Amino acid sequence: MNSTWNIRPGWSPLTIGIMVIGFIVAWPLGLAALAYIIWGDRIHTFVDEARYRWTSNRSGESGNVAFDDYRKRELKRLEEERRKLDTMREEFDRFMHELRRAKDKEEFDRFMSARGRDGSKRFDTTEPSGTSA
């Protein structure tokens, strides 16, 4: 009589026992056993798919020459648009800086004209009388 013990993915008394013991010993072992029970029959598919995605994403190409050319053209166009927007933003920032500067100068000139050029008129920064408690 030839007796072999195979641990196959799926819910069997043996795999459930291994999972329970794994959780008792160390929870990552139990979690690994549970993952094997649920997805064990698809491990080879997962590994092959992950390997394919890893190698195709590392090169940055999809494998379709027409799509890769289109992608390169679109990325180049988008980079050009981004540069244009960056230039426009810099111009707008300069404009706003000059606008604030002009507004500050106007307020300062108004302050100086109200104060008087000789400095004889001083502004009272104390509270008006009659407001104390």
74 part of a folded domain: yes
Return the percentage of the chain with pLDDT > 70, whole number.
79
Residue 24 resides in a domain: yes
Q: Is 102 within the bounds of a domain?
A: yes
Residues, the chain: 133
Asked whether residue 55 is domain-assigned, the answer is: no
The answer to whether residue 19 is domain-embedded is: yes
Structural domain includes residue 133: no
38 in the same domain as 70:
no
Considering the domain boundaries, does residue 125 fall inside one?
no
Measure the N-to-C terminal CA separation of the chain; round to a whole number of Å: 107
Give residue-wise pLDDT tens across range 116-130.
765 555 555 555 555
What contacts 37, CB < 8 A, 6 or more positions away? 9, 10, 11, 15, 16, 19
* Interior/surface letters 81-114, b for 16+ CB within 10 angstroms, e for the rest: eeeeeeeeeeeeeeeeeeeeeeeeeeeeeeeeee
Residue 34 structural domain: 8-44
31 and 71, same domain (yes or no): no
HEC string for the chain: CCCCCCCCCCCCHHHHHHHHHHHHHCHHHHHHHHHHHHHHHHHHHHHHHHHHHHHHHHHCCCCCHHHHHHHHHHHHHHHHHHHHHHHHHHHHHHHHHHHHHHHHHHHHHHHHHHHCCCCCCCCCCCCCCCCCC
* Number of domains within the chain: 2
Residue 82 CA to its chain's centroid (Å) = 18
Q: Are residues 69 and 108 in the same domain?
A: yes
Whole-structure pTM over 0.85, yes or no? no
Residue 94 lies in a domain: yes
Write the pLDDT tens digit of every residue in 58-70: 666 777 889 989 9
